[in-house]
Amino acid sequence: MIRLSGLQKIYQGEAGPVKALDNVSLTVQQGEIYGIIGKSGAGKSTLIRCINLLERPTDGTVTVDGQEMTALSEAELREARKSMGMIFQHFNLLSSRTVLENVAFPLELAGVSMAEREKRVLPLLELVGLSDKKDVYPAQLSGGQKQRVGIARALASQPKVLLCDEATSALDPQTTESILALLKDINKKLGLTIVLITHEMHVIKAICNQVAVIEGGQLVETGSVFEVFTRPQSTTAQDFIKAVVNNKLPEALAAVISDKPAADSNVVVRLSFFGATTNEPVLAGLIRRFAVDASIISGNIDHLQDTPYGTLLIELSGRPEDIQNALNYLHARDLGTEVIGYVARHAYAAC
């Protein structure tokens, strides 16, 4: 549906050229919700604006629905943009127009008759839950309602692609959740391909199928949200995930743990469970098979959309050879196993 190939964007700054995008290539499939996450200045806003050529790349190609956008004339590009809606962080509503008139504005610019505009806009207001606000002005709306107007306006031209530029960044957490649920519903009902950029991992976690992590204008990691979230490869992805998953060691344990084994030391292990493995009695099987004791330090279970995942921090005690056999057993199973460190026997329990 969307294919970016070798994308580069160079700005001329006062101190010389600035490379905002550096050889970016990615593919978004039809009907996906594709997230692009990065810190401020990473290049994500430039990237999403290159998709509809609000920013023209210095090099590389942008292909949308089989059409190479970078090869189009200005007139052809204006026509092609009609198949791509865009919503923004700051809503950009016209204060002197009602909700209905704001949503209808792109149709008005396209020369659609007033009767046809109303016929197309009213179902959109129902879709975003604002049917009762059609004659209200933006100043009378909450932030979440304003963003719903922005979403309806982006859908007015019946686009195939919806681009979301930090669409929830100006909203409180509860309103953010409602907007994300709306985008997911729109994706399901209309089969719309959605590309969104954000600096918040919980947004990616909530609704995206695929994710690209951008840092310094380069893609440092791509993959399914489940893969990146549960087995992050880049430091940037790991930093984002720490914001939504608490993997911090308890203070009492952090005070006594060592990265080097000692005589009679216990092993602290973090287990990560994915999908069906969250329901397996792993610790019970471990204790039955090996002469070790397993003490649970902390744990949690969450969901990545419909897929359960969990983490468990445990302390293994026993003879070194039995502990190693137990670790080999854990490594052989379909779960993540990470040795965090070592503690003297009974040291953590005494804290």
CB 8 within 8 A of CB 43: no
Going 73 to 79 to 83 to 85, the CA torsion angle's sign is positive
The total number of structural domains that make up the chain: 2
Residue 335's pLDDT band (cuts 50, 70, 90)? confident
Task: Write down the mean pLDDT value for the chain.
Answer: 90
Does residue 98 share a domain with residue 17? yes
* pLDDT tens column, 207-259: 999 999 999 999 999 999 988 988 889 999 988 988 777 677 888 888 888 88
Which structural domain, as residue segments, surrounds residue 121? Answer: 2-242
Any domain includes 315 = yes
Q: For the purposes of burial, counting CB atoms within 10 Å of the CB of 275, is it exposed (0-12), middle (13-18) or buried (19 or more)?
A: middle
Beta-bridge mates of residue 5: 61
- Global pTM reads 0.85
Residue that the structure tokens 């600096």 belong to = 199
* pLDDT tens column, 24-78: 999 999 999 999 999 999 999 999 999 999 999 999 999 999 999 999 999 999 8
Any domain includes 351 = no
What are the structure tokens assigned to 83, written together?
Answer: 């198949």
Does residue 268 share a domain with residue 210? no
**Domain with 321 in it: what CATH number?**
3.30.70.260
Task: Report the distance separating Cα 99 and Cα 121, nearest Å.
Answer: 10
Task: Report the distance separating Cα 199 and Cα 298, nearest Å.
Answer: 28
Does residue 227 share a domain with residue 202? yes
The helix/strand/coil state of 296 is strand
Does residue 292 share a domain with residue 187? no
Task: Report the distance separating Cα 235 and Cα 214, nearest Å.
Answer: 11
Residue 349's pLDDT band (cuts 50, 70, 90)? low
Does residue 224 share a domain with residue 273? no
CB 106 within 8 A of CB 99: no
Does residue 233 share a domain with residue 265? no
Does residue 276 share a domain with residue 227? no
